[in-house]
Structure formats: C-alpha cells, structure tokens
Amino acid sequence: MQRTKLAIIGSGPAGYTAAVYAARANLEPWLYEGFYAGPAGGQLMTTTEVENYPGFPKGITGPELMLLFREQAQRFGTKLFTEDVASVDFSKRPFDIKGSSTSVLADAIIIATGATAKRLEIPGTRDGEFWQKGVTACAICDGAAPIFRNQPLYVIGGGDTAVEEAIFLTRFGSKIYIIHRRDTLRASKIMAERAMKHPKIEILWNSVLEKVEGDTIVRKIHLRDVVKNTVSQREAAGVFFAIGHTPNIGFLNHQLQLDQKGYLFVRPGTTYTSCEGVFAAGDVQDSIYRQAVTAAGSGCMAALDAERWLAEHGGY
C-alpha cells in the first residue's frame, strides 16, 4: 500500500491552506477533496460573492476563491484525490485511510471536513427551486446581495446565530423577521434583548415556514402559526436558515473525542485532537467563528502542528 507523511481530509479553506503549508515544508501531502460528500472547496462553493476575505477588495465569488486556493495547494506538490474518505483506522500508526478508490497509510492526518449548515426540507427551498435564489443558510456570506436590499427578509431559528444574522441583515433589508417555532428564544439573554429591542427586527413567535414561492427569485412565503393553526402569506425576498450546523464527522466512526457541542475536540489554542498525530482545522472543530479566514488560519496552524509533530515522532 502507498504511504504518505501527511494526509489532509477536506478541501475548504482549512484543508487547502494546510496543504499549501505542508507542501511547502516538503511533506508531499495527499489531500482528499471529497466527491459525493460535498463539492471540492466546501461551503464556499455554494455561496456567491465573498466580500470579507482579506486581499480581495472588490470581492470574489466563493467558487473562484476556492479554485485559487486549490491551484496554490497544487503548485507546491499536493496530490489531490477527488474522492471521499470512507474510513480511517486511528487505532495504530501509520493510520490506514480508505478512500472510495484509493487507500493510503499516513503518518499524520489533518481533518478539515467542515460542517454543513442545516436546512429544512420545505417546498421551494431545495436545490433547483429557490436555494441560492433568495434562500440561503448564511446571512453573513450572502446578505449583502442586491436582491435583498430594502426588502423584507426572514431568518429561521431562535438561537444566537439567528439573532446575529438578523442583526447583520438589518443593514440591508427593509425589515427583518425572525421566524421561531416556540415562544422563547434559545439565544443568550443579551442577544435576545438586542433582537427584541431592534427597531428593524420583529419576531414571529410560534411560527414555522411552510412554503417558499417566487418567479426567478423568492417573492413570497407561507407561514403557519402553530398555536392558532392558521396559515398566512407574506411578501419576502430572502429566507435565511439559522438552525445550526452539523460537523462532518460521520466517517470518523466515533474514534475521536468531541467537544460539548459535538464538534471535534482540539486542545485549546492548538489543532491537536484526542489522537496523537491527528490534527483538526476549520469548521469541523469550530462552532463559533466559522469564517473562511478563520478556517484558513487554523489550516495553517494544523500544518505547522503536524510538521513539528512529524519531526519529533515521524523521523522527518
């Protein structure tokens, strides 16, 4: 079986940045980009304009940005495999990684498989309907798009993310509605108060989204009041899911320790996981910041941690 010093699993900003650093350190990394598990490039492949990634003052689209990351990783000799990792045996070193068509033994691994924003299966919100045509799961990525300017916008959820996204959207929309299925927010008290006091935010309590309609973009939503059991239709230009994220850790098969929120545990201030020689970067270990630039930063940290660990333990 083939062997590599370092395998990187995942191809968002964290994975590609780890690859740039590792490849420049002559670790000749293998990078599994994924295939069925999600597009190579991760969550940014499903966003439009990225205006907050430093170095691109005029903005850049998510897919363009990720192609640049990928090109840079390749330039220094990263070997890319466009396939999913099915399993990893973390019980002995080198670690045995089984991809869908290749296998490799790796002395160290960086896990950068990201997280997936949860979406609801509601008519009108799916791919091919109004997904990315007014329906998104990231207000901070997409909220500034022209279709949302001075329009009524709806955020689904009652946690800190929903409140934060609603507050962010007040810069763009005419009015922001938070649709929450209960009569109390889950968000922290301070965030909840901010939302309730904000003149441009209204909370639609005990409400669930039933349907999204439009022409080429979103125009209308159907909302059910779950207490009165009535349905109303409202003018809408944007629907933003903020109902949490799920880290992409299924293939790990419960072999690594998780934190209290179910994300991969890393030793604070480092990228070391609970398993010697295994490092984690990006959204798979970050339930708080979840930005491309923070993911890239932690990808760099993971490559440096892995390089030092290999120098000590791997004889490189």
Query: Annotated active-site positions, please?
Result: 138, 141-142
**Among 12, 51, 48, 59, which residue's Cα sits nearest to residue 31?**
12
Residue 293 is encoded by which pair of tokens? 């630039």
**Among 204, 295, 208, which residue's Cα sits nearest to residue 248?**
295
Total residues contacting ligand NDP (rule CB under 6 A)? 16
Site for ligand NDP in 103-162 (CB under 6 A): 120, 156-162
Closest separation between CB of residue 177 and ligand NDP, Å? 14
Would you give the binding string for ligand NDP spanning residues 203-242, x where CB under 6 A is met? Answer: ----------------------------------------
Assess contact for 207 and 179: CB atoms under 8 A.
yes
Closest separation between CB of residue 136 and ligand NDP, Å? 14
Closest separation between CB of residue 173 and ligand NDP, Å? 19
> Binder to ligand NDP among 287, 291, 314, 316 (CB under 6 A)?
287
Q: Which is nearer to ligand NDP, 1 or 288 (CB)?
A: 288
Q: Which is nearer to ligand NDP, 182 or 313 (CB)?
A: 182
Report the distance separating Cα 128 and Cα 314, nearest Å: 48
Closest separation between CB of residue 170 and ligand NDP, Å? 15
Q: Which is nearer to ligand NDP, 159 or 173 (CB)?
A: 159
Collapsed DSSP state (helix, strand, coil) of residue 291: coil
Q: Which residue is nearest to ligand NDP (CB)?
A: 159
Assess contact for 273 and 105: CB atoms under 8 A.
no
HSE, side-chain direction, 13 A CA sphere, residue 251: 24
- The alpha carbon dihedral of 41, 42, 46, 48 has a sign of negative
| 130 secondary structure, DSSP code | T
Cα radius of gyration rounded to whole Å, the chain: 21
Q: In what helix (H) or strand (E) does residue 135 lie, and over which residues does it extend?
A: strand 135-136
Q: In what helix (H) or strand (E) does residue 172 lie, and over which residues does it extend?
A: none
- 41 binds ligand NDP per the rule CB under 6 A: no
Report the distance separating Cα 14 and Cα 280, nearest Å: 9
Site for ligand NDP in 18-37 (CB under 6 A): none
Closest separation between CB of residue 208 and ligand NDP, Å? 6
Would you give the binding string for ligand NDP spanning residues 162-201, x where CB under 6 A is met? Answer: x-x----------------xx---x---------------
**Among 48, 85, 86, 84, which residue's Cα sits nearest to residue 66?**
48
Q: Which is nearer to ligand NDP, 77 or 244 (CB)?
A: 244
Q: Which is nearer to ligand NDP, 286 or 307 (CB)?
A: 286
Closest separation between CB of residue 191 and ligand NDP, Å? 7
Q: In what helix (H) or strand (E) does residue 191 lie, and over which residues does it extend?
A: helix 189-197
Q: Which residues bind ligand NDP (CB under 6 A)?
A: 120, 156-162, 164, 181-182, 186, 243-244, 287-288
